[in-house]
Structure 1
Amino acid sequence: MILVTGGAGFIGSNFVLDWIAAHGEPVVNLDKLTYAGNLENLRALEGDARHVFVQGDIGDQALVEDLLLRHRPRAVLNFAAESHVDRSIHSPGSFIETNVVGTFRLLEAVRGYWSGLQGEEREAFRFLHVSTDEVYGSLAARDPAFSEENKYEPNSPYSASKAASDHLVRAYHHTYGLPVLTTNCSNNYGPYHFPEKLIPLMIVNALAGKPLPVYGDGQQIRDWLYVGDHCSAIRRVLEAGKVGETYNVGGWNEKPNLEIVHTVCALLDELRPKAGGGSYQEQITFVKDRPGHDRRYAIDARKIERELGWKPAETFETGIRKTVQWYLAHGDWVQRVQSGAYREWISKQYAQAA
């Protein structure tokens, strides 16, 4: 049995689905079900006794303590986080509450549980914390990619809150001996991605005939990691990672945002041509850049390949095609997650053209 927090979100739900498919080991899934948490992501597990879903907050220490004592997991994997930079700029308080205070409460519950374990159970237990490359800050065009040795230079309330959570995890290992593992990943994409992030937003807006909003000049560079590859990396780190270590997980796919948008449009032109002809690229609209927008992220993922033998299975070309095909085949899912609150947020965020 493992306990997964945030397992109804984008990366967490993909991990739970992949975990049960690959291992069959039962999962207790704790998720608060905020706007980005969606039980529909886990519909394939309805009625499956190997998946126990609990709606709740990682900041509810008593609830977490109860789940740990009742289910006695051999590992806790923490995906739970507020994760959208734009939202953190507008409303930083919820990011501090979940990513910092929530992680602290979770760590306290896990420390108490682990301290009570004996023998092999105690030796085998792991706490795996899922984090982001954004804690490292921004890179200049010629800078080497982020390695695990890079100092932290977070530039947004989101990345600062994740950096704080990473520091707490490290401190609980060095102070209390808690057997922790940390992963810092690059930009994920793939199925079940909430359509406020770049790739799913471009897909759903293109199909709806709406503008495709691109920040600034669109030349912000990110490393793109297919979510299925990220899940396999986390499984490998949990299986063989060295306690106390950090592993950067990347896709070796550095691309500017505008190129990503052009690629999505080209795939849609091929797979779902516009009824009236023309290209979806005609819908691209440049909007005012967001405050403090980091220019470039890049992950050096050599450590996890060297020490654990992991590397991504998908190229960007194969991963992005799978992603676009998934959204085309799951229009019902997209429609249901696009609530009134979602539409208001998108309208607010992208209203001002550059």
Structure 2
Amino acid sequence: MILVTGGAGFIGANFVLDWLAAGDEPVLNLDALTYAGNLENLASLRGDARHVFVQGDICDRALVARLLAEHRPRAIVHFAAESHVDRSIHGPGAFVRTNVEGTFTLLEAARAYWSVLTGAEQEDFRFLHVSTDEVYGTLGADDPPFTETTPYAPNSPYSASKAASDHLVRAWHHTYGLPVLTTNCSNNYGPYQFPEKLIPLVIANALAGKPLPIYGDGLNVRDWLYVGDHCAAIREVLARGRLGETYNVGGWNEMPNLEIVRTICALLDEARPDPAGPYERLITYVTDRPGHDRRYAIDARKIERELGWRPAETFATGIRRTVAWYLANQDWVAHVHSGAYREWITANYAGRGAPA
């Protein structure tokens, strides 16, 4: 069995579904079910004995220790995190608590558990920490992409909290010998992504005839990684990664936000045309967010060289799959657009010059 934290969120749920589709090793899934955790993401696993779900907080040391003692997982795959930059600007405390204190709690519980294992069980145990490229800060237009040795320079409360968690994981390996692995990924997209993020927000707003908010000039560049490719990379790192190492996981798809939005609009024009006209008419430029990093780019050659992983999806194929999934799963979309979500959208966008 493996323990997955945050396995009801976007990337975590995709990983759990992917893991159980690929084999029969059970998953113990620990998730607090905060705003972005959604058991509907895992509806296809209802009644599946291979999936054991526990609602709980990674900051609860007693709970984590009990789960480790009872279920004796051979690995922890740690996704649980607060992960939206805009939310971190509005409320940084939750990010420090979950991303820093929560990771510390997990590391200490894992260290206590691992230290009393013996033989092959101790030798084979792994703690895999899933992180972000945002810890490296921002790049200029002509700068080389981030590598695993790029100095950390986080610029938002979110990225600072993830950088802190990365440093804790590294220290627990070097100080205590805990067998850790870290992945730093670029922007994920795909099924089950919470609709505050750019791609699902644009799809939902376009279908509803609402403005498509673009921060600043829309030319902030990100590297885009299809979530299924990310899950495959994590499986490879867990299976064969070198202890104590970091692996950058990217999609080799650098693209400005404005181009992302225009691509989605074109796909929607094709799949579900609006009688009122092309969806691009809804693009609305709004006030940029504070400290908005200009460009991220991942150099993913290390994971390809050492583990043979490369993304299977191009952005063209991945975004087409993503738009098709959202069009086919409008009930899921409707359910996550709760009152709390609507209140957040109003709070985040009302002051930027765009109707929520």
**Alignment TM-score > 0.5, same fold:** yes
Aligned equivalent of 1:210: 210
User: In the aligned structure 1, how far is the partner of 2:208 from the partner of 2:111?
Assistant: 48
Aligned equivalent of 1:349: 348
Instruction: Give 1:287 deviation, angstroms.
Output: 0.3
* Aligned partner of residue 284 in structure 2, secondary structure: strand
For residues 206-239 of structure 1, give each alpha carbon's deviation from its aligned partner in whole angstroms, at most 9, with x where no partner exists: 0011100000000000000000000000000000
1:327 aligns with 2:308: no
* Aligned partner of residue 350 in structure 1, secondary structure: helix
Instruction: Give 1:341 deviation, angstroms.
Output: 1.0
Aligned equivalent of 2:5: 5
1:168 aligns with 2:168: yes
Aligned equivalent of 2:306: 307
For residues 39-82 of structure 1, give each alpha carbon's deviation from its aligned partner in whole angstroms, at most 9, with x where no partner exists: 00000000000000000011001000000000000000000000
User: In the aligned structure 2, how far is the partner of 1:279 from the partner of 1:345?
Assistant: 28
Residue pairs, 1:194-343, within 5 angstroms = 194-274=194-274, 276-343=275-342
Instruction: Give 1:344 deviation, angstroms.
Output: 1.2
User: In the aligned structure 2, how far is the partner of 1:321 from the partner of 1:265?
Assistant: 11
For residues 94-134 of structure 1, give each alpha carbon's deviation from its aligned partner in whole angstroms, at most 9, with x where no partner exists: 00000000100111100000001000000000000000000
* Aligned partner of residue 3 in structure 1, secondary structure: strand
The residue type paired with residue 107 of structure 1 is: L
The residue type paired with residue 111 of structure 1 is: R
In structure 2, stretches of 5+ residues that fail to align are none
The residue type paired with residue 353 of structure 2 is: A
Aligned equivalent of 1:127: 127
Residue pairs, 1:173-184, within 5 angstroms = 173-184=173-184
Aligned equivalent of 2:100: 100
The residue type paired with residue 207 of structure 1 is: L
User: In the aligned structure 2, how far is the partner of 1:173 from the partner of 1:295?
Assistant: 33
* Aligned partner of residue 127 in structure 1, secondary structure: strand
User: In the aligned structure 2, how far is the partner of 1:268 from the partner of 1:183?
Assistant: 33
The residue type paired with residue 22 of structure 2 is: A
TM value normalised by structure 1: 0.99
1:61 aligns with 2:61: yes
Instruction: Give 1:348 deviation, angstroms.
Output: 1.7
Instruction: Give 1:350 deviation, angstroms.
Output: 1.4
User: In the aligned structure 1, how far is the partner of 2:110 from the partner of 2:152?
Assistant: 25
User: In the aligned structure 2, how far is the partner of 1:324 from the partner of 1:215?
Assistant: 21
For residues 224-273 of structure 1, give each alpha carbon's deviation from its aligned partner in whole angstroms, at most 9, with x where no partner exists: 00000000000000000000000000000000000000000000000011
* Aligned partner of residue 128 in structure 1, secondary structure: strand
Instruction: Give 1:308 deviation, angstroms.
Output: 0.4
For residues 288-327 of structure 1, give each alpha carbon's deviation from its aligned partner in whole angstroms, at most 9, with x where no partner exists: 0000000000000000000000000000000000000000
* Aligned partner of residue 286 in structure 1, secondary structure: strand
User: In the aligned structure 2, how far is the partner of 1:278 from the partner of 1:209?
Assistant: 10
User: In the aligned structure 2, how far is the partner of 1:33 from the partner of 1:343?
Assistant: 18
TM value normalised by structure 2: 0.99
In structure 1, stretches of 5+ residues that fail to align are none
User: In the aligned structure 2, how far is the partner of 1:260 from the partner of 1:346?
Assistant: 20
User: In the aligned structure 1, how far is the partner of 2:40 from the partner of 2:29?
Assistant: 14
User: In the aligned structure 2, how far is the partner of 1:44 from the partner of 1:2?
Assistant: 19
1:74 aligns with 2:108: no
User: In the aligned structure 2, how far is the partner of 1:34 from the partner of 1:214?
Assistant: 27
Matched positions, count: 353
Aligned equivalent of 1:141: 141
User: In the aligned structure 2, how far is the partner of 1:221 from the partner of 1:284?
Assistant: 17
* Aligned partner of residue 108 in structure 2, secondary structure: helix
* Aligned partner of residue 4 in structure 1, secondary structure: strand
Instruction: Give 1:277 deviation, angstroms.
Output: 4.2
Instruction: Give 1:278 deviation, angstroms.
Output: 1.2
- The percent identity for this pair of structures is 77
User: In the aligned structure 2, how far is the partner of 1:222 from the partner of 1:120?
Assistant: 41
For residues 164-220 of structure 1, give each alpha carbon's deviation from its aligned partner in whole angstroms, at most 9, with x where no partner exists: 000000000000000000000000000000000000000000001110000000000
* Aligned partner of residue 68 in structure 1, secondary structure: helix
Aligned equivalent of 2:185: 185
* Aligned partner of residue 178 in structure 2, secondary structure: coil
The residue type paired with residue 23 of structure 1 is: G
* Aligned partner of residue 138 in structure 2, secondary structure: coil
User: In the aligned structure 2, how far is the partner of 1:83 from the partner of 1:343?
Assistant: 18
The residue type paired with residue 348 of structure 1 is: A
For residues 122-148 of structure 1, give each alpha carbon's deviation from its aligned partner in whole angstroms, at most 9, with x where no partner exists: 000000000000000000000000000
The residue type paired with residue 309 of structure 1 is: G
* Aligned partner of residue 181 in structure 2, secondary structure: strand
Q: Note the aligned Cα RMSD (angstroms).
A: 0.6
Give the ranges of 4+ consecutive aligned residues of structure 1 lying more than 6 Å apart after TM superposition.
none
